[in-house]
Structure 1
Amino acid sequence: MFAVSPVPYILGRFLLAFFIFMSFKLLLKEYEVDPIYIDLALVLYLIFLFSATFYRGDGKTSDYNLMPFDFLNYISEVNLSTFIAALLISVMLFVPGGAYLYIKRIKFAYSWQILLSSSLVIELLQFFTKRGSFDIDDLLLNTAGGCLGFLLAKVVHKRITHEKQTTTTKLSH
């Protein structure tokens, strides 16, 4: 998790993907854009996600961590900003995926299972392809990030819906 990595590069790709995804989400709600663009944004997000999770300089690791919250042991070994950035990346990588599941009206009870399964597949692929390591902490943080994305999309949707209802009510009076 804390290997020498291009944190700004990965974070930049994530932020770009998230921006594209949320822009399409807002366009869909505000301007009734064809839903195919949301699916296109998902494809772009998945490309960014896989490039971010499989980018490794040497490609020779196949370690694993099965101890939950083991990342807390590294606080004293690395720069605090590097530690926080690595945690944020692990959480934020799945935020757009959770938002997508909400937009597609997948119930939360299934969404978290889809997010957990997706993260598990990525972690296993990293381990078996030796392009990373299997880390239970990444599995937990990715899933938490996806759930956060689901809940954020729900809040944004409710806010937009409320604003539309308020505007419609004001116009009808």
Structure 2
Amino acid sequence: MLKKIYKIIIIPYSLFLLYLMFLGMGRFQYDDNLITVEPVFSTIKFIQGAMSWKDIVVIVIGNIVMFIPFGFLGWIFPELRKLKTLIFTFVSAIVIVEALQYFTRMGIFEVDDIILNTFGVYLGWRFCRFIEKRFSYLVL
């Protein structure tokens, strides 16, 4: 049952995420192409300079949580049940999305986004394995 629901929801969810990454949340086209390649330190600087906890949760935690559903892609594509294949495929895809943000100037190519998004996929993959073991009768 869960697999059927997931198959119905993941495409609209993916489109919604792409909307957020390019047009949502007050996005605008930058004058220049921007890139941040300073892993982890740029997120730490962001947290230190954040105006509120809400900003931190929305940006940092959101970059993790919003990508958890992609850890379940093995339910649709069996080859993505293997963590190594899932991570390689996801990182390839998210680098393309980040590059599109850079080239369209509708966002910033950020290495930290790639790291946080990938961590979300990993958590999703772990959660998926947990659900399959504990609640196998719901997964079908």
Shift of 1:110: 0.3
Match of residue 83, structure 1, among 50, 56, 76 = 56
Which protein, 1 or 2, shows the higher relative CO under an 8 Å CA cutoff with sep ≥ 6? 2
Shift of 1:84: 2.6
1:121 lines up with 2:104 in the alignment: no
2-structure distance, mates of 1:40, 1:85: 26
1:68 corresponds to which residue? 39
Aligned residue identity for 2:36: N
Match of residue 51, structure 1, among 19, 22, 27 = 19
Bigger-Rg structure (1/2): 1
Contact 2:27 2:107 in 1 (8 A): no
Provide TM-score, normalisation by structure 1: 0.68
The Cα offsets for residues 124-167 of structure 1, whole Å up to 9 and x where unpaired, read as 01000111010000010011101111111111111112xx4xxx
Secondary structure, counterpart of 1:134 in structure 2:
strand
* Compared CA separation, residues 96 and 115, structure 1 to 2 (3 A): same
Aligned residues: 130
Contact 1:99 1:149 in 2 (8 A): yes
Provide TM-score, normalisation by structure 2: 0.82
1:170 corresponds to which residue? none
Identity of matched residues, % = 23
1-structure distance, mates of 2:59, 2:27: 16
Task: Spell out the pairing of 1:13-162 with structure 2 (5 A cutoff).
Answer: 26=2, 28=3, 33=4, 38-55=6-23, 56-60=26-30, 62-69=33-40, 70-78=42-50, 79-101=52-74, 104-105=77-78, 106=80, 107-161=82-136
